[in-house]
Amino acid sequence: MGGKVVTITSGKGGVGKTTATANLGISLANLGKKVVVIDADIGLRNLDVIMGLENRIVYDLVDIVEGRAKLRQAMIKHKKFEQLFLIPAAQTRDKMAVSPKDMVELTDKLREDHDYVIIDSPAGIERGFRNALEPADEVLIVTNPEVSAVRDADRIIGLIEAADKGPGRLIINRLKTEMVNKGEMLSAEDVFDILSLEIIGIIPEDEFVLSASNSGVPVSLNEGSRAGMAFANVARRVTGEDVPFMDLEENPGFFKRLMRFLDGR
């Protein structure tokens, strides 16, 4: 079967799917993996700017699907990592330009010579999400410790399970430890408690993320950034490595125990 297809989704928009995709891609490449990241948000392309590759786009996902470009032509090589590629979304088309079957065919080709194919799903539960979900071997659900984001995550988790793509794992993004400690924010445990889904990453709120998107250099390339470190840890966990949760990710001992509890279930 070759490489693994990992889809990043969330239901709600603006929780950090694209940031997570870019950083997971970069971090996996940094681990020496061959990686392709696909922007499946047709019409609202953004993964290219987050990764700083917007100037190099000639062809896009729809061009591949409709046969105007060969796969290789539309794969944009990353500036720093030889083995990291981006397939950008088309900007002037809509979600209907691609079908779930197209995505399966595309990712099946990419699997042959890449270790990971990461798909950045659009927000919502419609066609764009279906396109991103269909080829997935594993689904990562990004959420924020916030009522509306967790509610939408619950909905999307239900749809993922119904499509037999479950259970998926959670990335809790933009956690503010100080606020959690004051009781003014849902903690990672709270979110786990409500969604009963394994957590693969807890990303602290970090101003470096905005600087990174300003400059088009994903935050995981910044060793001084805690969010960057947390994303790098997610990548290692995706590869199957057992990485303890960082202190700022909250209570490492607790999560270790939690994971064991879940594994034994």
Partner 1 sequence: MTSLLNRLFGRPRKGSGKTAKDRLRFVLQHDRINLPPERLEEMKREILAVIVKYVVVDKDRVEIALEQRDRNQSKLVAEIPVVKQTVPPSPETYADSRQNNSDKPLGETEDSVDEGESAAGDAEEAAVASEDGEGADKEEKENKK
Say if CB 219 and CB 208 are below 8 A apart.
Answer: yes
Q: Give 135 or 168: the residue with its C-beta nearer to partner 1.
A: 168
Closest CB 158 distance from partner 1, rounded Å: 6
The DSSP secondary-structure symbol of 122 reads: P
Q: Which of 73, 109, 247, 254 touches partner 1 (CB under 8 A)? A: 254
Q: Report the nearest approach of partner 1 to the CB of residue 258 (Å).
A: 10
Q: Among 99-107, 183-191, 227-235, 239-247, which window interacts with partner 1 (CB under 8 A)?
A: 183-191
What 8-state DSSP symbol labels residue 151? Answer: H
State which of residues 158, 207, 211, 215 lies at the interface with partner 1 (CB under 8 A).
158
Among the candidate windows 11-19, 25-33, 174-182, 211-219, which touches partner 1 by CB under 8 A? 174-182
Tell me the DSSP string of 229-255.
Answer: HHHHHHHHHHTT---PPPGGGS-HHHH
Provide the token pair at 23.
């950083």
3-state helix/strand/coil string of 75-109:
CEECCCCCCEEEECCCCCCCHHHCCHHHHHHHHHH
Among 49, 57, 69, 151, binds partner 1 (CB under 8 A): 151
What counts of helices (H) and strands (E) characterise the chain? Answer: 12, 8
Residue among 94, 126, 193, 247 that touches partner 1 (CB under 8 A): 193
- Applying CB under 8 A, the residues found at the interface with partner 1 are 146-147, 150-151, 154-155, 157-158, 161, 179-180, 182-187, 189-190, 193-194, 196, 251, 254
